[in-house]
Amino acid sequence: MKKLAILLFLTAVFLMLPGCWSKKELTELGFVMGIAFDQGKDGKIDMLTQVYRPTSVQSTASALTRISSINIKTTDDSVMEAVRDITIHLGRKAQFSHMRIIVVGEKLARSVNIGQLLDLFYRDHEPRSSVSLAIAKGKAGKMLEKKPVIEQTTAQQLLRAEETAYSSSAKTLDTSLLKLVMQMKSAHPDSVVSYVYEDKKSNKMYSSAGLALLKNGKMKTLLPSGKVEGLLMLRNEYKSGVIEIPCADKKKEVENTEILAIHTRTKPVIKGDKISVSVKLQGDVAIGELKCSKLLTEKDEDEFIHRIEEKMKVQMKSTIRFLQANQMEVIGIGNSIYKMNPKKWEKIKQTWDAQFAEVPFDIQVKLRLVTNGTITGKPAVEAN
């Protein structure tokens, strides 16, 4: 009996004494929503951290006027030191698990290998690799300092803008830390990262459109938003978007179709030393706006689809020309060659950039018109 009593006492003591290593109340943590990196003076890194500020339930009057986030600026030699400096301003330990987005300023992205910059976020157990990544035009800090349009915090707003722009309008690609590292560690390490910039007309809004192209982790060029659609089609990552074609007779008017689904097969064809690429695209479209065409017979429909297919080919060709001019192969052809024939890839790896500029592309598009919408295949209101 005495042994049992001693055993119980020791158990209780050993459970209470050591303390709880990761026990932190929710009110002792500052939840980081977003981070922005910029180039500072003397080669230091400027870091802006956006932390969520909870609005108390009781104060209903001031809840509307209070902003939901706080921005903390720190500067230091490395990212980790800058992170530790947050606590001297904030007073609460930063928690990175719910981070929404990391924004890197363009200047910093052009001068530093972005993978090395973000090493802390890959290594630490708290940040998740599903955190979104973006490169900002100008100063990244200014992006996070803007007021959010509809979400609670700017970081959340940027994340949702990136995601939705990718899935609905195909103007950007939704990049995350994981996608970045997968691209950079693949056979051909040229990568793309989504791009954000201030809106030209009003400086309160920002746009998430266009892609930054990285070589060796440093930003080299910017792919404008008009050419992103072509790239997504080539990479087989096109979710949904709009294809615009001019009217057959009146060149000023345009008609639109919405892409419902697209599947692309991009395959390199290697004949000895000559490499060419065959692109086969299959998809479903629906009509968005009709202004001048009348689709009354099957022949009309076939013609209409043919025009859309041509437009898509034109878009893809324009993107390919841009990429070839800049010697950035981000379509994934190098990776495909590596998968098909690793030895061949070893041989052409060094000169691939130059070789890519000469590669011919053979594009074939096959579309299917699924629906006209809720009214028939002619314009709702006839033009006179």
Q: Could you list the residues that contact other proteins (CB under 8 A)?
A: 15-16, 20, 22-27, 29, 31, 52, 54-58, 95, 97-98, 100, 126, 128, 152
User: How far apart are CB 23 and other proteins at their closest, in Å?
Assistant: 5
Closer by beta carbon to other proteins, 29 or else 90: 29
Nearest-angstrom CA–CA distance, 279 and 265: 6
Minimum CB separation of residue 97 from other proteins in Å reads: 3
CB nearer to other proteins: give 99 or 223: 99
Shortest approach of other proteins to residue 26 CB, angstroms?
Answer: 5
**Residue 56 or 374 with smaller CB distance to other proteins:** 56
Q: How far is the CB of 52 from other proteins (least distance, A)?
A: 6
DSSP 102-142: EEEEHHHHHHS-HHHHTHHHHHSSSS-TT-EEEEESS-HHH
Cβ proximity to other proteins: between 4 and 57 the closer is 57
Q: How far apart are CA 310 and CA 290, in angstroms?
A: 18
Choice between 94 and 359, CB closer to other proteins:
94
Name 282's bridge partners.
263, 366
CB 277 within 8 A of CB 268: yes
Contact 304, 369 (CB under 8 A): yes
160 or 188, CB closer to other proteins?
160
139 close to 55: Cβ distance less than 8 angstroms: no
Q: Give least dist CB 91 to other proteins, A.
A: 14
Question: How near is the Cβ of 381 to other proteins at its closest, in Å?
Answer: 43
Give least dist CB 58 to other proteins, A.
7
Both tokens of 126, joined, read 């708290």
Residue 52 or 206 with smaller CB distance to other proteins: 52
Structure tokens at 292: 């001048």
Minimum distance from residue 20 beta carbon to other proteins (Å)? 6
From CA 81, how far away is CA 362, in angstroms rounded?
Answer: 51
In order of 185, 288, 307, 362, 377, the CA distances from 303 in angstroms are 44, 17, 6, 22, 13
Residue 315 amino acid letter: Q
The pair of structure tokens assigned to 155 is 């970081």
Question: Facing residues of 257 across strands?
Answer: 243, 287
Residue 364: Cβ within 10 Å count: 12
Cα separation, 222 vs 270, in Å, equals: 30
- What lies within 8 Å, CB to CB, of 302 at 6+ separation is none
Q: Which is nearer to other proteins, 12 or 296 (CB)?
A: 12
Q: 25 or 42: whose CB is closer to other proteins? A: 25
Q: Kindly report the number of other CB atoms within 10 A of residue 360's CB atom.
A: 11
Q: What is the closest distance, in whole angstroms, from the C-beta atom of residue 159 to other proteins in the complex?
A: 10
